[in-house]
Amino acid sequence: MSREQSRRTVDHRRIVITGVGLVAPGAASLAEFRSNLLAGTSGITTLDLRYMGVHPAGVCTFAETRYRKKRENSRGTRAGCIGVYCANEALRDAAIDFSEYDRAATGVYIGLTEHGTVETENEVFNIGQYGNDVDYWTHHHNPRTVLNNPAGEITLNLGLTGPHYAIGAACAAGNAALIQGVQMLRLGEVDLALCGGLSECVGSFGIFASFRAQGALAEHPDPTRASRPFDRDRNGIVISEGGCVFTLERLDRALARGARILGEITGYAMNSDARDVVLPYGPRQRECMELALRRADLTPADITIVNTHATGTRQGDVEECRALRETFAACPATWINNTKSSIGHAMGAAGVLELAGNLPSFTDNLVHPTINLDHLDPDCALPGLVAREPREVERVDAILNNSFGMLGINSVVVVERFVAN
C-alpha cells in the first residue's frame, strides 16, 4: 500500500493546522510577522531592567483588551494575557465558533519554559517597599503562579470545559505542547486542540541576570543587531516575550466543515541528552531529527526548510550546526534559516512562533532569511543557509522545526504541505 493510499484510510488520524494566533516582538498577527521576517526587520528593542539597567529585549505590543477587560488582565498574568489573545486569534483565524465543536471536548495545551517567576519577583519587591510586611502580599499570588495558569486563563476566557494543562519542557516547550495536542487528538481524548507556547520572561530580572552570569546574555550598541546566531561575533541570547497558539483538528472534521488547512503535522520526536544541565549535545539533536523524519516517513532530502533553534550562544549554535550538517549534507534542495535573529529567544513560545513564521512558505514559496549574519562562524557553515535576503524556491513541501532546551531536552516537529488525497 502506498503512503497516499494509506493516508486515505486514516483521515481521522491525520492532524492539520487550521488556525494561528500569535504575538511576537514587532508583530501581533501572522501576516505582520511574516512581512517582518521577509523584510529582515528586527523586532528587538531595549528594556530598562530593575537592578540591571538597559538591555536588548523582545517586547510585544498588541490589543490587550480585545478579548478581555483591563481589570481581568490586572487580576491575571502577562502570560495569561498573551495566551488569551493568541487563543482567540487562533480560533478566529480557523473560523471556529463552536457551532461544530463541543467546548467540553476542546483541549488546551500550553508550553512554558517558566511561570510564576515574574509574579514572585514583583511581589517580593513590592512588600520590600512596606518593610517586608506580608499583609501587602496579594491574595492573587497562588492562582497566578501555578503552572497551569496561562492555559487555565484561556479556558476561563473562552468557557472551555475540556482538559487544560501546561507542558514544562524548557525552550522545547512550544513544540512539546504541539506534540501533545496531536497525540490527544489521535487518541480521541479531544476533538479540537488549542496548542502552543507562551513566554513572559522579559518581566523577570532574574532570568536576565542568570544568563549574564553564564556569559550568555547578548549585548550590542544597536539592539536590532544583538541577536546574531551563527555570526562569528555573537555573544549570547536576546530574551523575548511572546506567544503562539495553533488550532489543531483531525483532517476528517476539518474537511467536513470546509476549513482552510495551513499544513499537516506528519512527524515529531522528543529525546534527552542526559549529559549536562545547560550544554547542548549535537548527536542527540541529530537522533531527534532522524526519529521525527522516520515517523513522518520522509528522508532528509524531502525537507524543504529547516528552521533552526540556534540562539546565538557559542557552543549551542555549533552543536546544532554539526547535527544539521550530518543530517542534511546531501540535500541540495533543503534550505536552512533562523527566526531568533529577528525576534530573539521567546523561550517557551520559541518553537511555535518559529514554525508559524515559516508556515506561509507553503503558499508564497519564500524562505525567510537569517539576519545579522555579517561574519559567518566557520563552525556554523551550513549547506543551504539562507541569509540576509529571502530565497524563492519552486515549491515548499515540508518544514522541519527544531527546538531544544535546558536539561538536555530536544524536540522536532515536521509539517508538510497539505495534499488532499
CA distance 24 to 44: 10
Distances in Å between the alpha carbon of 30 and those of 16, 353, 355, 358, 413? 17, 9, 11, 10, 19
Q: What is the pLDDT of residues 69-105, one digit of tens each?
A: 999 999 999 999 999 999 999 999 999 999 999 999 9
* 113, 405 Cβ separation under 8 angstroms: yes
Q: What is the pLDDT of residues 250-285, one digit of tens each?
A: 999 999 999 999 999 999 999 999 999 999 999 999
Residue 139 is a catalytic residue:
no
Residue 60 is a catalytic residue:
no
Distances in Å between the alpha carbon of 268 and those of 61, 142, 178, 361? 32, 34, 9, 20
pLDDT of residue 12 exceeding 50, the answer is yes
Residue 141 is a catalytic residue:
no
Element (H, E) at 342: helix 340-343
User: Of the listed 201, 345, 368, 380, which one is catalytic?
Assistant: 345
User: Of the listed 81, 171, 288, 380, which one is catalytic?
Assistant: 171
Place of cell 497551569: 148
Q: What is the pLDDT of residues 354-383, one digit of tens each?
A: 999 999 999 999 999 999 999 999 999 999
CA distance 350 to 171: 7
CA distance 91 to 352: 16
117: cell is 517567576
User: Of the listed 55, 164, 309, 368, which one is catalytic?
Assistant: 309
pLDDT mean over 194-204: 97
DSSP 201-226: GGG-HHHHHHHHHTT-B---SSGGG-
